[in-house]
Amino acid sequence: MSLFAPDMSGAEGAVKTTPLAERMRPRSLEEFYGQTHLLGPGKPLRLQIENDDAASLIFWGPPGVGKTTLAKIIARETSASFIEFSAVLSGIKEIKAVMVDAEKASQFGSRTILFVDEIHRFNKAQQDAFLPYVEKGTIRLIGATTENPSFEINAALLSRCRVYTLRALEQAEVLALLERALQDRERGLGAWELQVEEGALEVIASYSSGDARNSLNALEVAARLAKGRGEAVLTKTLVAEALQQRVLLYDKKGEQHYDLISALHKSVRNSDPDAAIYWLGRMLQGGEDPMFVARRVVRMAVEDIGLAAPEALNLCLSARDAMHFLGHPEGELALAQAVVYLALAPKSNAVYKGWNEVVADIEQRPAEPVPLHIRNAPTRLMKELEYGKGYQYAHDVEGKVAQMECLPESLIGKRYYRPTQEGREKLLAQRLAEVERLRRGQ
């Protein structure tokens, strides 16, 4: 399977049926846009290609940044057969059949690059099937993934591959490839001789979120709209009509999901309302489940605001209810209100830290019995066993604080809750000091 199709990029039939993004796929490193941190002079991936280093690779990055294209360029540069798998469509049977063919070909000096798109979708058994062939050098595996390889690829396979992280294209790089597509008469839209209103390509570049494929698809839609209407100029209005809706880089089940909620939480914690509301918008406009966001906002209220502003919890629960009641898009304003309030509220993680210490002590210490004096004694036998003996009813003593310990013996004197001097918690700190004084009988 070689697997480069014949070059029909200049044929009228190909132009009509093959998407622009596919026709404009770079054929060499010189045509490739982006990833200068890997492909610039003296950079690691470029050196590996130039030195014909046969190590297997994992390309990790968002969609449309050139993972498949780079694999094909490497195959051309190294004169290797190129076999492309999709982890969505292929199983172990197909993998093993290709491995056998590659092993036979290697005996005659032929090299095979096996490119696996969305390799993270292969299960453990399927990934394990590659191992012996990668180890022997029968194939050179190049995997592409949008997910963090540390979590999605078997450690054994990952240890035999070099991982390269690809980045979303910069706006200038997207603009350059759009301009090339407009000028290229062989594979692009040059034969249509379209003019471009100033700023129109910038609209596409901005809306593509660094995805080369999306930007070229958008350009093609806009160009076909213009041609169909007999217009010779791509205007910003026409481009906006072609785009319809911004292409936001957001995977609700992938790493972006966790990166953005992390950015939101840390912006709130750092009292930055502008960043917090921006990351909230990125998530909601990207299609995130608003109830997931609401749950995390409630978590922020109890983890980072705590008793410094205890009303924050009620506000966040109300925002959740408003989101549920109003739905999209009206309810999003309630979440935005809650997020801005949390960002500006006084901060305390005293309860959060204290709770973590409690959990750690429960896990690491023996489960001690409840002290006898604070046990209930509903039966005569329990009273005979001195359940409740020595209990002091707090309402009957001065200050409503009895001089008795309620923790197990080994934990007497332990302090889990240590209030800060922030917001309302400053008053709680004063109250705690008073309670401790009363408990000592002072």
Please, are residues 58 and 162 in contact by the beta-carbon 8 Å criterion?
A: yes
Q: In which residue are the tokens 């957001």 written?
A: 250
Give 36: exposed, middle or buried? Use CB within 10 Å, 0-12, 13-18, 19+: middle
415 three-state secondary structure: coil
Structure tokens at 103: 């092993």
| Spans of all domains in the chain | 35-165, 171-243, 255-344, 369-439
**Buried (b) or exposed (e) across 93-119, using 16+ Cβ within 10 A?**
eebeebbeebeeebeeeebbbbbbbbb
| Cβ–Cβ under 8 Å, residues 240 and 203 | yes
Give the right CATH number for 255-344 from 3.30.300.30, 3.40.50.10070, 1.20.272.10, 3.40.50.300: 1.20.272.10
Overall fold of domain 35-165: Rossmann fold (3.40.50)
The HSE-up count of residue 58 (CA atoms within 13 Å, CB side) is: 23
What is the per-residue pLDDT for 6?
40
153: how many CB neighbours lie within 10 A of its CB? Answer: 23
Separation of alpha carbons 11 and 24, rounded Å: 14
Q: Which residues pair with 163 in a beta bridge?
A: 58
- pTM of the shown model: 0.60
Each residue's pLDDT, cut to its tens digit, for the chain (442 residues) gives 333 334 434 444 444 578 999 999 999 999 999 999 999 999 999 999 888 888 899 999 888 899 999 999 999 888 888 888 776 666 667 777 777 777 777 776 678 888 988 888 888 888 888 888 888 877 888 999 988 888 888 888 888 899 999 998 998 999 999 999 999 999 999 999 999 999 999 989 888 878 899 899 899 989 988 988 888 999 988 888 888 754 454 555 555 677 889 999 999 999 999 999 999 998 888 778 888 899 999 999 999 999 999 999 999 999 999 998 888 888 999 999 999 999 999 999 999 999 999 999 888 888 888 999 999 988 888 888 889 999 999 999 888 999 899 999 889 989 999 999 999 999 999 999 999 999 887 7
User: What is the topology classification, in CATH, of domain 369-439?
Assistant: post-AAA+ oligomerization domain-like (1.10.3710)
User: In this structure, what token pair is assigned to residue 373?
Assistant: 């004096």
- Distance, C-alpha 20 to centroid of its chain: 29
- Domain 171-243 in CATH 3.30.559.10: no
**Greatest extent of the chain over all pairs of C-alpha atoms, in Å:** 101
Instruction: Give the DSSP per-residue string, 86-138.
Output: ETTT--HHHHHHHHHHHHHHHTTT--EEEEEETGGGS-HHHHHHHHHHHHHTS
Residue 216: partners with Cβ closer than 8 Å, 6 or more residues away: 19, 20, 21, 24, 177, 178, 181
- Looking from the CA of 220 toward its CB, the CA atoms found within 13 Å total 19
376, with CB counted inside 10 A (0-12, 13-18, 19+), is exposed
